[in-house]
Amino acid sequence: MKRIVVLASGRGSNFLAVASAVSRGMINGRCVGLIVDRPGTLAAVRAGEHGIPVFTIDYSVFSTKSAYEEELIGTLRSLAPDLVVLAGYMKILGSGIIREYVGRIINIHPSLLPSFPGLDAQGQALAYGVKVSGCTVHFVDEGTDSGPVILQRCVPVLEDDDPGILAERILAEEHIALPEAVALFCSDRLRILGRTVIRLPDDSGEQVPGSL
Ligand code: GAR
Domains of the chain: 2-199 (3.40.50.170)
97: pLDDT strictly greater than 70: yes
C-beta of 8 in contact with ligand 1 (< 6 A): yes
pLDDT single digits (tens) 63-72: 999 999 999 9
113: pLDDT strictly greater than 90: yes
Nearest atom of ligand 1 to the alpha carbon of 8: 16
Look over the chain and give the mean of its residue pLDDT values, rounded to a whole number: 95
Instruction: Report which residue type is found at 59.
Output: Y
Return the HEC string of 86-100.
Answer: ECCCCCCCCHHHHHH
**For residue 167, how far is its CA from the centre of ligand 1 (angstroms)?**
9
pLDDT of residue 212: 44
**For residue 14, how far is its CA from the centre of ligand 1 (angstroms)?**
7
C-beta of 134 in contact with ligand 1 (< 6 A): no
Instruction: Report which residue type is found at 33.
Output: G
C-beta of 98 in contact with ligand 1 (< 6 A): no
Q: Which residues pair with 31 in a beta bridge?
A: 4
Percent of the chain with pLDDT over 90: 95
Mean pLDDT, rounded, for 29-51: 97
Mean pLDDT, rounded, for 25-43: 97
pLDDT single digits (tens) 6-27: 999 999 999 999 999 999 999 9
pLDDT of residue 73: 97
Mean pLDDT, rounded, for 118-127: 98
46: pLDDT strictly greater than 50: yes
Return the HEC string of the chain.
Answer: CEEEEEEECCCCHHHHHHHHHHHCCCCCEEEEEEEECCCCCHHHHHHHHCCCCEEECCHHHCCCHHHHHHHHHHHHHHHCCCEEEECCCCCCCCHHHHHHCCCCEEEEECCCCCCCCCCCHHHHHHHHCCCEEEEEEEECCCCCCCCCEEEEEEEECCCCCCHHHHHHHHHHHHHHHHHHHHHHHHCCCEEEECCEEEECCCCCCCCCCCCC
pLDDT of residue 208: 59
204: pLDDT strictly greater than 80: no
pLDDT of residue 209: 66
pLDDT of residue 203: 74
C-beta of 179 in contact with ligand 1 (< 6 A): no
Nearest atom of ligand 1 to the alpha carbon of 15: 18
207: pLDDT strictly greater than 70: no
206: pLDDT strictly greater than 70: no
pLDDT of residue 202: 85
For ligand 1, atom 8: residue with the closest CA: 88
pLDDT single digits (tens) 164-177: 999 999 999 999 99
Gap between the Cα atoms of 83 and 182, Å rounded: 8
